[in-house]
A and B are shown apart, each in its own frame.
Chain A
């Protein structure tokens, strides 16, 4: 991926991720509890409590990007876990039983925290992990928002945050530090603000930054929001993107079309996809996925605000609401077409896409396509099948102008 090399910040990424993993290892030695958490989780509470948060999904994405997901998965499959479960879960469970650790060993938890806003796979996976490692499991239960957000669901979530705080006090043996929480929330706000400012530059034509860049640069927003390092990282990236704008450096050489992409990328084929789109002068500009981390916490009402932000994610919303969100992105980024990835690993982002493809085209007049594959596992990847879907789409795009 050409853009990956040209961002100077990329080198810094490697460093801060290494530092992050080193901190995890050191936490074990210093007896700082290591908590497994999920990507959409009020991690701010853990930082405030001085607990080290570790993201097994990130481990899964890493294994997928390094093309070893199938290898790890086979260890899970040997125990009876099906190859159609979430690829991240298969990597995590597989690694627990594996004799080889091609991306290093997953960090063993002292406790697992799960929020099911995203999916039911995580809660089942974390239940499995809590049994395997014999550690407590704490679920933040986020009922689906049926229509509009309701006090019923957010109130329930706030009650659970209070229960979680009591649980954290038990683990750490210390009273919960609410002042520290406000600091952490402030840092999260800053990180999210910077991240979204960067993402927004993809709306410029031509744009200095696109979805594949976002995939490369997203690890800190997922795993480190709430820390100063994350703020500094995105400050540096933002500066660099601004420089690019001044210098007229763009994400792809001849941007003609902007594409919306749902949702998670095919990690082991990131480069292949980015080159494919670039070769058709198409910039994948936006995806609901990378835009998930767009939190804005109200420091006056921290718990309520955490509850709202973490339960109202797109993935926990209704069919119609999710259509609206997509169309908002279409407008905001001025997209010319959309590509929907029906991802075997991830039912909550994939079920419904078949119908949404036609609805979106009907409502917006834009060309769109849906294809099937798996975000981690190349056993479900067929280049020929995907091209058979995408080539006609690119032709449609070209003829629409």
Chain B
């Protein structure tokens, strides 16, 4: 069992000079919800985590046994399988699972394998009236119960009354479907409790899947994931936004099974040694060329309030008067949650969700996905299908401005893999506070996988 981590006192802990995130919330033009007033900084120690976690097949194999075969994991959205017979394939670390909407309307998950000679039952997502194998035609009902064996006189030795597909634990949370490959796993409620408490106000179930982009990244899945778990890298990786992002005044909060980093927008980095005007900060925020005109910020408004107001008006046509309840921070800041081990729903209303996982059984490549949820008026629009980017396609080609930011993160990823395979260091050095979410992930990995 890994050593427990300790509470820090937000008033006395070491932190960046300049405004705290809580100071910024005091300037909000709207009431700030309690969830943003929570603070849960932790002293996670100063230990280094072994480089071999990213570089060896041996560690990957242990992850498969002790993590991926055991942990709750987000498989898809409920809205992707609305009708009886709709099914989706969810693959993790060389294993394939089938998530199916039954005739009764509930959701079941099964190993994606025929009980005859093992062929994968469904290769593609789709709709079916039964789960019939393409090899010899064995079939199961949508609820996994036995349906048919062609020429069954030859299988008198098979007890049809128990010849059902093994059922895996399934749970739903805010429109997401989670499965657990371990039939004896711990209850989902314990697993989701921390995150669920935080999302009471934001309700991602009320949003629809507006975009879904996936790409194989040439690095261990944790290298890809950890690129999105701190804002400390902004000075090196995203310097263009420093005039409009409070990178090192991010607030980091750690709970048992989830953690978050909140990075304020519309405020300049404490790392800049000069005063940044609101106009220059706005130029950076809107990514306008150095000599272009910048919109005027109305008298009496600060930059955060102005950016929030722009965002409210952009959202109003689809979100209606709800936007008037959203405080500035909810519209301007990056509120990045992580649910162990690999699911990252952003809080508030920008609808970003990331998922990272190994690419099959290759410990040197990962699947990175960005799922964008969005509000809608009237009938729920159909969920966007996943778009797989080829190796030579940029994230920006699919996700525009957000993708441009990802392309900078992606620019590092293979170089981190190669660096870790070349280093003489045995451990990865992490900061105490700003990278404490990465520490938390490794602390949890130690609990699940071992050293």
Q: Do A and B come from one complex?
A: no
A residues in contact (CB < 8 Å) with B: none
